[in-house]
A and B are shown apart, each in its own frame.
Chain A
Amino acid sequence: EPEVTQTPSHQVTQMGQEVILRCVPISNHLYFYWYRQILGQKVEFLVSFYNNEISEKSEIFDDQFSVERPDGSNFTLKIRSTKLEDSAMYFCASSASSGRALGETQYFGPGTRLLVL
């Protein structure tokens, strides 16, 4: 069964460093997402991406964050200068749909646990 994969599973970084989290969405999916979950809290939407551009982003997704689809399979989240409060589990998700993603099911990867020291 196709699945979303994410690398690395864990990342430890120093405050102020740049990190890139990588995701390989399900191959025939067209919408891609990033969410984060601070330890013990709810899952929060960061950004959605379709047709090589951001379709929606949350207030959390400020100028420190960027997303990219550098090739036909990878989808990345970059945090330019990490802060202590960026420590969280970051989930990538993807959904099918060739147009407006009308409530399509989003399938999540296993997550990357980011720890900023």
Chain B
Amino acid sequence: AQKVTQAQTEISVVEKEDVTLDCVYETRDTTYYLFWYKQPPSGELVFLIRRNSFDEQNEISGRYSWNFQKSTSSFNFTITASQVVDSAVYFCALSEEYGNKLVFGAGTILRVKS
């Protein structure tokens, strides 16, 4: 069965600090897909990134970067030089090869203070 664990319930940082959000997943499939979504206070779910299990290259997009390590079943998300607008709940999610549902982690609340 698939499972996503985000052990950090809430993180508070001061603006300009770097912050890493952890995500650990479980699946029996060899092909799977990992995602991060952002849920700002307004409530919508905003897609950030998708990764397939065969692509372990780290990715950087502006201040965002993702570290995918199959050996530890982790897909961590780092925000560099955090800003107040980064304050949100961040969800990690997994979908397996045969099936298209997303299984979400519990989410990490990120509070960035000015």
Which chain A residues have a beta carbon within 8 Å of chain B's beta carbons? 31, 33, 35, 41-45, 48, 55-56, 58, 89, 91, 93, 95, 100-111, 113
Contact = CB atoms under 8 A, between A and B. Distances in A.
Nearest to B96: A103
B99 interface: yes
A61 B52 CA distance: 28
Given A91-B45, A103-B32, A108-B45, A42 B101 contact: no
Q: Which 8 pairs, one residue from A and one from B, show the smallest C-beta to C-beta distance?
A: A103-B33, A101-B100, A108-B45, A45-B101, A43-B104, A110-B44, A42-B106, A42-B104
Contacts of A33: 100-102
B3 to A, nearest CB: 11
A105 B47 contact: yes
A104 B102 CA distance: 10
Nearest to A107: B47
Contacts of A95: 100
A30 B46 CA distance: 20
Contacts of A109: 44
Contacts of A55: 100
Given A42-B91, A103-B97, A105-B50, A110 B43 contact: yes
25 contacts: A31-B100, A33-B101, A41-B106, A42-B91, A42-B105, A42-B107, A43-B93, A43-B102, A43-B104, A44-B104, A45-B102, A55-B100, A56-B100, A89-B43, A91-B45, A102-B97, A103-B50, A103-B97, A103-B100, A105-B35, A107-B47, A108-B37, A108-B46, A110-B43, A110-B44
